[in-house]
Structure 1
């Protein structure tokens, strides 16, 4: 059987709005448009301390808070598989040391879980009962290391539900025609370079040796389906979702240096409490 219908996506001039099944669940994904930053960070860069003007970043983050109607909790992303559980009444200050993790899970209404990307894949989770939400940052290392499975397990643990009660939305990332990788990436996913499988296709010859194009979103979908998630929405691997191929809409670390960061957020509203 194929996956059941998952979250849909509404798009406007402010960004992408994933629509999950329960009315208590809200979600948002920024693009690079509509902010105060300039140069390579034009214009809605949401990451401080990467060379952008800090006043512009502060203005961008204030706009983000206004768009989603709440503050958010971030983590220090390290391409791993650790999951941070948001504690009750936690309000993160700008000077606070961020917890080291690549995913967040929350049962607390109000505060949003935020992860940041600029080619890596953002994945948002929510249960159909509107009790728990999660967000994961999945580059190839984190994906191969199990960050999605770890986030999914924490969502189920916190909400007390089975995997088939969880839906997931995949955001924009580097696309399957742009993500050139070496044999180390194939091996990280258990693929033999001589038989790379459907998610890796041969790339043009490079002096450093054989290269492949990797379908990051497709690999994530495979892993989520193998874990039991049936309701999947968002990134289907088509060109419109590719961060590298859409420079006016998305930041891309592989395409541009320097570059800003986009944010994917998910939260629980107070409705129904």
Structure 2
């Protein structure tokens, strides 16, 4: 029998009231090691039936009216609407994207991570939401800015709030000098997010880098951070730590109002 689900949720003030968001942990599913236990990804070597059972359990636990559709992530900057994911899935296709947005109540946006940073965003009026999969390549490429642009479609002046889920922490994310150089080329102040680790290597702070990108794009309310997928092995999958492992999911949606037709 599966253990209880363990979920990471934003503090109450992080996102507007109509919006619900969460990140799964590795706890609460049926997959054996090395995917133990709540692996939500089909591309990791886990059996499809177990992944399907994990996804179904999550959807039932959350009381979702529709199944969650997942994009095929490539560390890029493509943003897709959740409704388009649904339409593609109905035809047996999966769309390539690293961020998902919607303005339809009850429709879930979701991405998967196992060290990269998931960033949830919502307009302050709660009428549009999205989530981005942001590793360092996605951050440099502009995946957060692309997600913000998609959220602002039809509401260009709407302020946006953001919540960062769990990613690899600044004490564990070792990178080469070319990563620092890529960020500095766009933002000279980004150097503060890197510290020397010896032998020409650096430790990078994904949380700080994402905050800088969001703030430079006009997002003034950013919550979350402070967890480490690499160090907290009992709670989170980590590709850098384990190689063969599962994936967590980060979900966001707008709660339908009572009486909504759909």
TM-score by length of 1: 0.85
Question: Aligned partners of 1:43 and 1:142: how far apart in 2?
Answer: 27
- Residue 234 of structure 2: aligned partner: 248
Question: Aligned partners of 2:164 and 2:85: how far apart in 1?
Answer: 28
After superposition, the C-alpha distances for 1:111-169 in whole angstroms (9 at most, x for unaligned) are 200100000000001111111000100010000000001101110114x1425x11000
**Are residue 16 (structure 1) and residue 8 (structure 2) matched?**
yes
Question: Cα distance 1:122–1:226, how it changes in 2: closer, same or farther (>3 A)?
Answer: same
Q: For residue 41 of structure 1, give the secondary structure of its aligned residue in structure 2.
A: coil
Question: Aligned partners of 2:207 and 2:153: how far apart in 1?
Answer: 25
The alignment's C-alpha RMSD in Å is: 2.2
**Are residue 31 (structure 1) and residue 17 (structure 2) matched?**
no
Of 78, 98, 106, 1:82 maps to 78
After superposition, the C-alpha distances for 1:194-228 in whole angstroms (9 at most, x for unaligned) are x98210000022xxxx1100001110001101111
For structure 1, the residue ranges without an aligned partner over 5 or more in a row are 1-11
Q: For residue 130 of structure 2, give the secondary structure of its aligned residue in structure 1.
A: strand
Of 213, 219, 223, 2:213 maps to 223
- How many pairs are equivalent? 250
> Could you tell me whether the CA contact under 8 Å between 2:114 and 2:236 is conserved in 1?
yes
> Could you tell me whether the CA contact under 8 Å between 1:88 and 1:108 is conserved in 2?
no
Of 192, 195, 202, 1:212 maps to 202
> Could you tell me whether the CA contact under 8 Å between 1:191 and 1:197 is conserved in 2?
no
Question: Aligned partners of 1:63 and 1:91: how far apart in 2?
Answer: 23
Stretch of structure 1 that moved more, 138-147 or 105-114: 105-114
**Are residue 169 (structure 1) and residue 163 (structure 2) matched?**
yes
> Could you tell me whether the CA contact under 8 Å between 2:70 and 2:85 is conserved in 1?
no
- Structure having the larger proportion of residues in helix: 2
Q: For residue 40 of structure 2, give the secondary structure of its aligned residue in structure 1.
A: coil
Of 93, 96, 99, 1:97 maps to 93
Question: Aligned partners of 2:250 and 2:156: how far apart in 1?
Answer: 24
List 4+ stretches of structure 1 deviating above 6 A. Answer: none
Question: Aligned partners of 1:269 and 1:98: how far apart in 2?
Answer: 25
Question: Aligned partners of 2:131 and 2:205: how far apart in 1?
Answer: 20
